[in-house]
Amino acid sequence: EKPFVCGVCGRGFRIKKGLDDHFKLHNKDLQFKCSICPKTFVEKRGLEYHLKAHRGEKSHVCELCGERFSNPNCLKVHYRRHTGEKPYRCSFCPKAFSQQGTLIAHERFHKGEKPYVCDLCGEG
């Protein structure tokens, strides 16, 4: 159940903070902007990790292979490559995914959603 619904695009969220963070995507004045590139973030912490990446700071190290990350969440997702963990399960079929974004894109296929429009022909 997703009781918190965005009034702009209709997307639903399980918790209010998810809706609050999402709403910042619609309001550029509430976003945190990178001073080096055009990227923006809905949370200050995201911008801080991004700036570390610009500076080449990668203090989070995988203990299994030595790969380094500037963002601890990226390290957490990376560990799933080693463990094979797939915590995000499709609600329409038996498939499971290691990343939430991949699950969301997969479930859009089941729903027939086409969120992207071709610049050349205009089809979704």
Domain definitions of the chain by residue range: 86-123
CA atoms within 13 A on the CB side of 82: 11
Q: How confident is the model at residue 56 (pLDDT cuts 50, 70, 90)?
A: very high
At position 67, the amino acid (one-letter code) is E
pLDDT confidence of residue 10: 82
Model confidence, pTM: 0.60
pLDDT confidence of residue 16: 92
Average pLDDT over residues 32-59: 92
CA distances from 4 to 15, 17, 22, 52, 64 (A): 7, 9, 11, 33, 39
The CATH number of 86-123, from 3.40.50.11720, 3.40.190.10, 3.90.1150.10, 3.30.160.60, is 3.30.160.60
DSSP-derived 3-state class of residue 115: coil
Q: In this model, does residue 29 exceed pLDDT 80?
A: no
Strands 60-61 and 40-41: unpaired
Q: What's the CA gap between 90 and 107, in Å, rounded?
A: 7
